[in-house]
Structure formats: structure tokens, C-alpha cells
Copies of this chain bind each other. A is one copy, B any other.
Amino acid sequence: MDTIDRKEIVDNVLYLIDAKDEPALKNLVIDFHPADLAEILQDLEDEERAYLFSLMTAETASEVMTELDEVTREDIVSDLETARLSEIVDEMDSDDAADVVAELPQDIQVEVLAHIEPQDRAEVEKLLVHEEDSAGGIMALEYIAVYDDQTVQDAVREIRRRADEIDEVFYIYAIDRSGRLVGVVPLKSLFLRNPQQIIRDIMYKEVISVSTEMDQEQVAKIVRKYNLSAVPVVDRNQRLIGRITIDDIIDVLHEEANEDIQRMAGISDEEVLQDTSTFRISRNRLPWLLISFFGELGSALVLNRFNATLEEILISAFFIPVIMATGGNSGIQSSTIVVRSLAMNEAGATGLWNRVYRELRVAILNGLIVGALLFAVIFFWKHNMEFGIVGGLAIILVMINSAAFGAIVPFALHKFKIDPAIATGPFITTANDIFGLLIYLGMTSVYLASGR
């Protein structure tokens, strides 16, 4: 469904809701993919949304709900009766069920857990223990495992037994008699082997796994690096307790990229794109605005300090914005590249100084070009060669300073375990503005003093 289709479909749905044409709407719910239904719900207003959702079977509703964005999901869930909500949660995979239950208010959580099947309840409770952003928090309990001394035939039997419950099966995990993960068998291999063969003899023994406490970003890196389609999760004793499938990893990658990008723009927590609460959004953005605000008041102090200079040679004031902005951009380019390198684990063993040195080389080259241009502008516009030299040199120095700062700060933050992405936003811009002003106005006053 692209954007244009989507508008048409939503208009059509609105028309059918208005006409209270239940049979047509029920057909539509059957025809569309749950992911499409989720998009349609996101585009509807509260009342229409609740109505359309009420026409779905518990199974469809459960699939749609896992596709919804957080804000819409919370809206829908808060309007549901406990009995209906329990029915829907019962249909979900353990990881999705745990996600939904975790977001419920305490009292409703207890009620829903009391209403779902005992086995599902046990599973959800097992998953709720883990941190939301850890491997344990995103894993599901739907996986197929056999003992390594069982046969290919046993594995096939196990697949048949659990086929209903588990949608996607890519690998069979092999465990020893104490539950420790010892191997993995791609589903494909089962077709190539004799039914009597022992799993231990056909499994890959170097199985890549993650531990429950591992951060989801780290899990995503491993899955990406080793091109896995699913990764098993083990506890501290190497016992197999869950698996994470690639579609969840894709969501993690998306979430993390979003978070990084938003943080770079000075937005504290991830802002849900469908959120409409002015206060929630404001609270999320204000801190960085204030940091930049108070930081830039430092610029006012600098300007105050150079009061005399400004008055004497007003020409210098004209070029404050261009020097600060160009320096700032040079700093943001450097810090963005360094932040990405750190995020993608690609700073490598060569590390900090190589990276800083590289950024300095680029800043010097670009600084020389921009500096020459600024000299030309001042010379031809203001007919002042001496001040042209001061301005040209200043912009070069400011750009080099910003680039060095932009390259070093993310490494420092990374070292202290602070997300380096915050360094590319208002923080680095503010710092570079103040340094830039000091350099520029400092050079201007030295020039004035020498001229007297």
C-alpha cells in the first residue's frame, strides 16, 4: 500500500463505517494483510478505530496489534474490555504477548494474566522478568529444540507436533541432557539426511548465541555481522531459553537508527512519530534547547568582553554568522562520521587518533578553500585586505577547531559509556559557537591592537 492507495482505502473505509456496512467491512478485514489493517487503523480517529477493531476476530486482532505503533496500540488497548483483551493476548506469540502485557496498568495486567491460558501465563511471566531492551526482552519462547542424541526423525516429529504454535522455523537447536545449547541444524539439512541419523552427527557445533542480558543493539550487530536468520538466547549456564527472529532484529535496527537520528537533532528520548501530545513532545525536546540556550549565552558574554572591538570595527560583526555557521557545519560533519563509526563498531583497532587525524586533514583542505573565499569576499566587498586576511585565517582555524572537537568528543563520551550520538547535536554546535567566537574576535582584537 503506498501513500496514495492508502488515502483512497482509508476514505473508502470511512465511507463504509459511516454507512454502517458491517458485512463489507468484515470482508475488508479478511482481505487485507494485518500489516495493512494496522496502517488503516493508525489513520482513523478514536471512535472509528475502535469500531473497525471490534469487527476483527481475536486472531486477526492479535496479528494487527503487533503491527501497530505504540501510541495507537495504547489507545486501542485502553478501550478494550479485559475479556476481549485476554482473548487477543492468548493468540499472540509469547514475545508479543509480553510486550502488550508489560505496557498495561498494574491492575489490568493482573486481570489479563488471570484470564489467559495457564501455559501462556507462565510464558509471559517468564518473559516479563527481562529488561525491555535486552535479548531476554525481545526473545520468544517459540523455538524447536531436540536432544543431541535424538535422531532426524525425532526432530521431524517435534516440528510436526509444534507446527501450529510456531510460525517460522528456520533452525532446529540441539541441546544436551542438561539443556545446554550444543548445536544447530538448518531445517534444509533434515531433508538431506537419513531419518535414523543422530542429530549430534549432523549439527553445526559452532553455534552463535547471545545471553539474556545482552543489549538489543549488540544482538542486532551480531545478527547483522554473521548474517543470521534467527539467534538462540542462552542463560548464564549456556542453557537454551529462547530465540530471537530476524523480523524483531529489523525492528531493533530501525528503532536504534531512529533513536540515533533523533538524538543527533537534540531530542532526548525516542519520539514516537505518531505521538500528538504537545507536552510530551515539548518535554522531550526542551532540555537540548535549554542547553543550547544557556550555552549560547556564553556567546553573549564573549561578545560583551569584546565590546570595544565590535564598536571600533563593526565590519567584524557582519561575518560572525558565516564563520560560526561554517565552522559549526564542519564540526557536525566530523562528529556525525565518528558517531556512525562508533555505532557500527567500525572505528576498529586503528581507533581514535587515525580518525582524528583524518578529520583534521579534511578540515584543513576545506578550510583553505573556504578561507580563500572569505578573504576574496571581504577584499572585494569591504576593500580591506588586512581584515580579509584576519577573516580568512579565522575561518580556517575555526573549522579545524570544530572538526577536531567534533571528532574527539564522541570518543570521549563513548569511553565514559554515554551515547556519542548526543555529541552531534546542539551540544557540539554550542561549544563550537563559543570557541569560534573566541578565536574570531580574539584575532580581530589582536589585529586592531597591532594596527594602533
Chain A residues close to B by CB (< 8 Å): 2-3, 6-7, 10-11, 33, 35, 39, 42-43, 67, 69, 156, 159-160, 163, 168-170, 186-188, 190-192, 206, 208, 223-229, 246-247, 249-251, 253-254, 257-258, 260-262, 264-267, 271, 273-274, 276, 278-279, 281-282, 285-286, 288-290, 292-293, 295-297, 299-300, 303-304, 307, 310-311, 314, 317-322, 324-326, 328-330, 332-333, 335-337, 340-341, 344-350, 358, 361-362, 365-366, 369-370, 373-374, 377, 424-426, 429-430, 433, 437
Given contacts A262-B336, A303-B317, contact A366 B6 (CB under 8 A): no
A310 to chain B, nearest CB (A): 6
User: Which residues on B sit within 8 Å (CB–CB) of A333?
Assistant: 265-267, 285, 288-289
With beta carbons under 8 angstroms apart, the residue of B206, B267, B370, B377 that contacts A337 is B267
User: Which residues on B sit within 8 Å (CB–CB) of A285?
Assistant: 330, 333, 362, 366
A257 closest partner in B (C-beta): B257
Q: Are B253 and A227 in contact (CB under 8 A)?
A: no
Given A67-B225, A262-B336, A297-B322, 11 further pairs, Cβ under 8 A: A3-B349, A10-B349, A35-B227, A160-B192, A170-B229, A229-B229, A264-B336, A279-B365, A282-B362, A282-B366, A303-B317
Most buried by B among A266, A289, A303, A332: A289
Given contacts A168-B186, A318-B303, contact A261 B326 (CB under 8 A): no
* Sampled A-B contacts (19; CB under 8 Å): A3-B348, A33-B206, A33-B208, A156-B191, A159-B192, A168-B186, A169-B188, A223-B250, A227-B247, A250-B253, A261-B261, A264-B336, A266-B329, A274-B346, A282-B366, A292-B325, A310-B317, A320-B320, A325-B433
